[in-house]
Chain A
């Protein structure tokens, strides 16, 4: 750990100018891992190395990357790899940095992972709003083609790989893996029924490996330096380092790469400077806006997949949003619910209707028209969304809203009372005048 508290592995050369070009990346040792993987290792060896490293998916679900790659069936058939760069989870902006500053590390990771999975067609699905980053990627992909790192028989090996940068057009749901596949096929981005899982029937009905930008960017480092090196960082169940996006009411919002297992307090107060002078942390989202909120006391827990799970939340995409005591919790809940209402694709009833009714009930809470019993109903609605849809978009609203009602019930009730009293006062003034 450096004195600043960061452990820079992925972000090691990120501030060096020119690092986004092929020459700049090769100067700091880039594309060595690709040579090693393609020329010295079998696909099976690459898969087992990734599995041994304990690398867990950095997009939100935290599933073992090596295990996921091992699910891809063997044999001669069209297989695909999709890099999920549709980073739309509120609070998350780590992939944006990795793509803008180190696009070649991602491309190298894609080449290695596609070799491991036997995929010849690969795609980067980048969200439409990231125009700058998509242009950087376009340039980097063209450079990689010119250098012979992409295309037919890379470096004279048996592996041929094509890479296309595909821009989305603004839909949060496309970050869900099966909706991403539908969007890539040129349809409305609706999630699919699972099973069959994408590993068996994904893009164009072929076996498809889908990984997040940060996950794929870790692969070259693991292949080059070994699984044991990666395991030397982090904890037993949460190996490695993680780029954490810290935002909200903090003095120095930004991306910080840390070893998994440092405390939330070191991240929020040490690195990000904590809330503005005179304010305290009211609650924080440990893994993007879909994660149930935690309180100040939970900041002392180690920031790992397992500890966040045990605390009743999740590490998710590794995005910490801090809410300080100046913000009414009802406003946070309402804005959150509006987001999910807008982004619900409408395919499953519990999510489409549940998000709509939650917004309406929260508006009543905000205006003072609600009764404390409404909070009961609202909590019940959240429970009825969880687990009842094709994807987890509905759950992503239900879990944080449910946790807010649990932790801040008094504040919700007080908010209703205050809003009602205010309304009555205004009515009196109106009648008097």
Chain B
């Protein structure tokens, strides 16, 4: 390879959904693979440890607890950080690599610190024909304008609430049907820690 060619920067790739930190870095082949973390070296918050242990006991096979355990760790840490993964790996007795493979697969497990609040706007077929994309864009624009931080706003695949289309899930609470004019109120409510659009959620149905 010529000098000029090797210096040419690699094309920038967008991070795929669920990518974990370091997804675009080459593997260090000289390093030993990470083993099951040593319990003496990792400090695990006691409530997380007991939650994972109780979950493991409910299944015939401890690996089945991977999804609930990672969800619990994510609730505590805000995302599936290397530290969170090490803690779960330590309690479950599995390697961090195994858990990372699970994190990268599922949309609701976050491999990047994207914010503690989540706004998932469904833009799948049934919502799409009711102009959900405009609702998503309006919420994103309103969030930018209001300087909303620590919040992940993204288009999401079908949330299973097509009767409320266009619908969005704010921290797991489904609200809809939405109009673009609802966007500022949604953003303000998240920012001030209020209930988003009271009376228009799935519980109220």
User: Would you call A186 and B17 a contact (CB within 8 A)?
Assistant: no
User: Would you call A248 and B126 a contact (CB within 8 A)?
Assistant: yes
User: Would you call B125 and A332 a contact (CB within 8 A)?
Assistant: yes
> Given A96-B161, A170-B106, A204-B60, is A188 in contact with B101 using a C-beta cutoff of 8 Å?
yes
User: Would you call A169 and B60 a contact (CB within 8 A)?
Assistant: no
User: Would you call A335 and B128 a contact (CB within 8 A)?
Assistant: yes
- Cα A296 to Cα B162 in complex, Å, equals 21
Which residues of chain A in 296-330 are interfacial with respect to chain B, using CB atoms and an 8 Å cutoff? Answer: 319, 321, 323-324, 327
Contact pattern, B 160-181, Cβ under 8 Å of A = 1, otherwise 0 = 1111010001001110000000
User: Would you call A247 and B162 a contact (CB within 8 A)?
Assistant: yes
- Cα A164 to Cα B165 in complex, Å, equals 31
User: Would you call A335 and B109 a contact (CB within 8 A)?
Assistant: no
A413 within 8 A of B: no
User: Would you call B71 and A167 a contact (CB within 8 A)?
Assistant: yes
Residue from A87, A128, A253, A335 in contact with B125 in the complex, judged by beta carbons closer than 8 Å = A335
Binds B, one of A42-50, A129-137, A148-156, A221-229: A129-137
Which residues of chain A in 150-172 are interfacial with respect to chain B, using CB atoms and an 8 Å cutoff? Answer: 164, 166-172
Determine which residue in B67, B70, B161 has the highest number of CB atoms from chain A within 10 A of its CB, and name it.
Answer: B67
User: Would you call B163 and A247 a contact (CB within 8 A)?
Assistant: yes
Which residues of chain B in 98-133 are interfacial with respect to chain A, using CB atoms and an 8 Å cutoff? Answer: 101-102, 104-109, 120, 123-126, 128-130
User: Would you call B108 and A170 a contact (CB within 8 A)?
Assistant: yes
User: Would you call B63 and A187 a contact (CB within 8 A)?
Assistant: yes
Contact pattern, B 27-59, Cβ under 8 Å of A = 1, otherwise 0 = 000000000000000000000000000000011
A289 within 8 A of B: yes
B138 within 8 A of A: no
User: Would you call A129 and B108 a contact (CB within 8 A)?
Assistant: yes
Residue from B59, B160, B202 in contact with A88 in the complex, judged by beta carbons closer than 8 Å = B160
B157 within 8 A of A: yes
A66 within 8 A of B: no
- Cα A50 to Cα B119 in complex, Å, equals 43
Residue numbers in B under 8 Å from A255 (CB-CB): 163
How many Å from the CB of B63 to the closest CB on chain A?
4
Residue numbers in B under 8 Å from A319 (CB-CB): 162
Residue from A93, A128, A285 in contact with B163 in the complex, judged by beta carbons closer than 8 Å = A93
- Cα A129 to Cα B171 in complex, Å, equals 10
A266 within 8 A of B: no
User: Number of B interface residues, CB 8 Å?
Assistant: 43
> Given A129-B160, A185-B63, A245-B162, is A321 in contact with B107 using a C-beta cutoff of 8 Å?
no
Residue numbers in B under 8 Å from A168 (CB-CB): 67, 106
> Given A91-B126, A132-B203, is A169 in contact with B106 using a C-beta cutoff of 8 Å?
yes
Residue from A78, A172, A324, A332 in contact with B157 in the complex, judged by beta carbons closer than 8 Å = A172
How many Å from the CB of B152 to the closest CB on chain A?
13
How many Å from the CB of B54 to the closest CB on chain A?
12
Which residues of chain B in 74-120 are interfacial with respect to chain A, using CB atoms and an 8 Å cutoff? Answer: 101-102, 104-109, 120
- Cα A1 to Cα B17 in complex, Å, equals 47
Residue from B59, B104, B125, B203 in contact with A90 in the complex, judged by beta carbons closer than 8 Å = B125
Residue on B nearest A183 in the bound complex, by CB: B67
User: Would you call B64 and A339 a contact (CB within 8 A)?
Assistant: no
User: Would you call B63 and A93 a contact (CB within 8 A)?
Assistant: no
Residue on A nearest B64 in the bound complex, by CB: A186
Residue numbers in B under 8 Å from A96 (CB-CB): 160-161
Residue from A91, A95, A249 in contact with B158 in the complex, judged by beta carbons closer than 8 Å = A91
B159 within 8 A of A: yes
Which residues of chain B in 137-168 are interfacial with respect to chain A, using CB atoms and an 8 Å cutoff? Answer: 157-163, 165
Residue on A nearest B172 in the bound complex, by CB: A131
A24 within 8 A of B: no
Residue numbers in B under 8 Å from A51 (CB-CB): none
Contact pattern, A 71-93, Cβ under 8 Å of B = 1, otherwise 0 = 00000001000000001111111
User: Would you call B102 and A339 a contact (CB within 8 A)?
Assistant: no
User: Would you call A187 and B102 a contact (CB within 8 A)?
Assistant: yes
Residue from B66, B130, B172 in contact with A186 in the complex, judged by beta carbons closer than 8 Å = B66
Residue on B nearest A172 in the bound complex, by CB: B157
How many Å from the CB of B157 to the closest CB on chain A?
6
A121 within 8 A of B: yes
- Cα A78 to Cα B61 in complex, Å, equals 13
> Given A132-B203, A166-B68, A331-B128, is A78 in contact with B107 using a C-beta cutoff of 8 Å?
no
- Cα A186 to Cα B159 in complex, Å, equals 22
A363 within 8 A of B: no
Contact pattern, B 168-198, Cβ under 8 Å of A = 1, otherwise 0 = 0100111000000000000000000000000
User: Would you call A129 and B162 a contact (CB within 8 A)?
Assistant: no
Can you show 9 pairs from A to B with CB atoms below 8 A apart?
A129-B120, A130-B160, A132-B203, A168-B67, A204-B61, A249-B130, A321-B125, A335-B124, A342-B157
Known A121-B60, A247-B165; 19 more pairs at CB < 8 Å: A90-B124, A90-B157, A90-B162, A91-B125, A92-B162, A93-B160, A128-B71, A132-B202, A169-B108, A185-B61, A187-B66, A188-B105, A247-B126, A254-B163, A289-B126, A289-B158, A323-B129, A335-B128, A339-B157
